[in-house]
Every structure is written in C-alpha cells, then in structure tokens.
C-alpha cells in the first residue's frame, strides 16, 4: 500500500529514475566510441521499463511495480530464460546475428546477454499496461469468439508442435513459425493446467488483452529497433524472402512477428508462474490487459 500510495497523478520516484537512466544511457549507447552497448543496454532498458511503469502509475493510480515490487522483479527473472528460448530456436533459423559478439568470451557473452534479456517482459508488459490507460484500449474490444473447447485446444496444441517440427526441418521456409509455435503449444497447456490464458476473454468475444499486448509490443519494438540502430554491439537481420524495406535494421514485414511474440510472452509468463504455484492473482491478467 505504501508504494501504491505514491501514485498521485504525478510521476513517482521510480519514473523519474527511469527518465534519468534514459537521459544518460541513450547518448552513451549511441555516441560513446567503441564497445558500449553491452554496458549501456541494461540501464537504458531498465530506465524505459521504470518510466512506462511510472507513467502508468501516474495515469491509473497503480502499476505493476506499485502493486508488487517483488513480482515486478520476478518479471526480470523470468524474462531472461524466456528470451534464451528464442535464441535457441534462432540457432536453427539464423534470422538475427550480433555484430561485436566476437569481442567477448562465452562466459562474458552469457552473463551480459542474460542481463539484457531480463528487460524484455518488463518493457513489453509495462508498455501494454500503459497503452491500456488510453482509449479505446481502456474498455472491452470486440472480436471473434474463440472458446477453449477441446477441439480448439487440441487443434492448437497439435498445430503448435507441427509448426515447431516444420521450423526445425525447413528453417528457410518455415521461419515465421518461430513466433507462432510456442504460443500454440503453451496456450492449451495453460488452459489444461488451470493457468491464465487469453482464451478467458476471447471466449466472450473480448479481444482487449490481445489488442493491448499487440500495441504495447509494437511501441516497445520501435524503441528496441531505434536504439539498436546506432549501437555497438548490435543485432542485424537475415530474414529470407522479405529482407527489404527496412525500418532501422528490421525489414518492414518483420515487425509482424512482434504480434505473436507478445502473446508468447504472456503465455510463457503464466506457464512459469503457474508451475511455481501462482495460478491466478490478477497481477498481469486483470490489472495489465483485462477489463476486470
């Protein structure tokens, strides 16, 4: 309650801290000569996460951090291995590479990359919650009714494994399944295990959580790609067939992959938390993307 009481229509202290981190480490990330992003990435994105959370707190009266600093810290803990899973799949597809990787030992790279990867979930979920404070995302959004019937769940589950098999067998042609297969596998698993799923809302025709996650991840993606452009080390893309019309380093059509990626993060978070015994407390579902 004491942390939540700091949300009083003004930017809370952690929001100002986030703004200060961005003000310092954005120039460092772009302008410092030589290697710098391996040290600047985490504080820059910690600043982003704290700022969007502080803005949400200011606009809504509460935020992910104000509701539970401990659970907010857990987002960083879960985020790192979640992104390593995508890195593992990319070993097969080779859709992105890191320029400057050769300057680090395997241990140095693992530690620094893990620290950087820890900011993914706080950034995406925090931005999605901020998006929810604006119309039309602050109210239910209608869409197709998709119910968690046995046929839907089993169809999605089998399709997810089929996509993963095609991805591994034919990475040049099936690379888009990197951003689809995990969600189709995890969403049915979460439903069967009693963990939160997006189907909880789509069965009522309410797509507010989906749309809010989509807009939130696209906003976050803009800053990911923009801040990466003049960074070093940095990532670059080698995407078959669509490697053109770049916005920063990312091909235009590549931004479409961020949409299912946001849903995969949602499913991964609840799968991990569910296995840890936190099946449903509304921390992300009701307060982040749902209509309550």
289, 213 contact by CB (below 8 A): yes
Q: State both tokens at 168.
A: 């591994």
Q: How far apart are the first and last CA of the chain?
A: 20
Residues 6+ apart with CB under 8 A from 289: 128, 129, 132, 208, 209, 212, 213, 266
Q: What is the mean pLDDT of each run of 10 residues along the chain (292 residues)?
A: 62 97 98 95 98 95 92 96 97 96 96 98 96 88 93 98 98 96 97 94 92 96 98 95 89 95 96 86 68 43
Write down the pTM of the prediction: 0.94
Dihedral Cα 152, 155, 158, 160, nearest 10 deg: -70
| CA dist., res. 265 & res. 85, Å (int) | 11
Among 86, 118, 126, residue whose Cα is nearest residue 216 = 126
Q: How many CB atoms lie within 10 A of CB 245?
A: 10
Query: What is the pLDDT at residue 291?
Result: 43
How far is it, in rounded angstroms, from Cα 243 to Cα 270?
33
What does the pLDDT read at residue 270? 95
For residue 229, how far is the Cα from the chain centroid?
Answer: 19
Joined together, the tokens standing for residue 288 give 């982040």
Q: Using CA atoms, how far apart are residues 127 and 154, in angstroms rounded to an integer?
A: 32
Cα 114-284-190 angle, rounded to 5 deg? 85
| Residue 12 backbone class (left: φ over 0; alpha: ψ -120 to 50; beta: rest) | beta
Q: What is the pLDDT of residue 1?
A: 47
Of the candidates 130, 37, 124, 38, the residue with the CA atom closest to the CA atom of residue 83: 124
Nearest in space to 72 (alpha carbons), one of 110, 22, 129: 129
């Amino acid at each position: 309650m004491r942390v939540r009481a700091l949300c009083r229509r003004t930017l809370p202290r952690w929001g100002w801290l986030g703004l200060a981190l961005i003000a310092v480490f954005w120039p460092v990330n772009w302008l410092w000569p030589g290697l710098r992003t391996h040290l600047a990435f985490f504080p820059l994105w910690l600043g982003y996460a704290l700022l969007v959370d502080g803005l949400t707190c200011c606009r809504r009266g509460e935020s992910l951090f104000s509701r539970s600093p401990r659970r907010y810290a857990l987002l960083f803990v879960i985020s790192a291995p979640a992104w390593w899973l995508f890195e593992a799949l990319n070993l097969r597809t080779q859709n992105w590479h890191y320029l400057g990787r050769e300057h680090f030992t395997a241990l140095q790279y693992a530690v620094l990359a893990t620290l950087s990867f820890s900011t993914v979930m706080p950034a995406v979920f925090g931005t999605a919650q901020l998006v929810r404070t604006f119309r039309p995302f602050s109210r239910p959004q209608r869409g197709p009714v998709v119910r968690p019937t046995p046929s839907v769940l089993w169809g999605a589950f089998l399709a997810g494994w089929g996509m993963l098999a095609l991805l591994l067998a034919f990475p040049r042609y099936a690379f888009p399944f990197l951003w689809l297969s995990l969600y189709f596998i995890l969403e049915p698993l979460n439903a069967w295990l009693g963990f939160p799923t997006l189907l909880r809302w789509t069965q009522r025709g309410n797509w507010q959580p989906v749309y809010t996650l989509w807009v939130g991840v696209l906003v976050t993606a803009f800053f990911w790609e923009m801040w990466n452009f003049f960074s070093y080390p940095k990532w670059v893309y080698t995407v078959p067939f669509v490697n053109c019309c770049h916005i920063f380093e990312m091909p235009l059509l590549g931004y479409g992959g961020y949409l299912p990626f946001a849903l995969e993060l949602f499913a991964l978070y609840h799968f991990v938390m569910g296995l840890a015994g936190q099946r449903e407390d509304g921390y992300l579902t009701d307060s982040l993307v749902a209509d309550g």
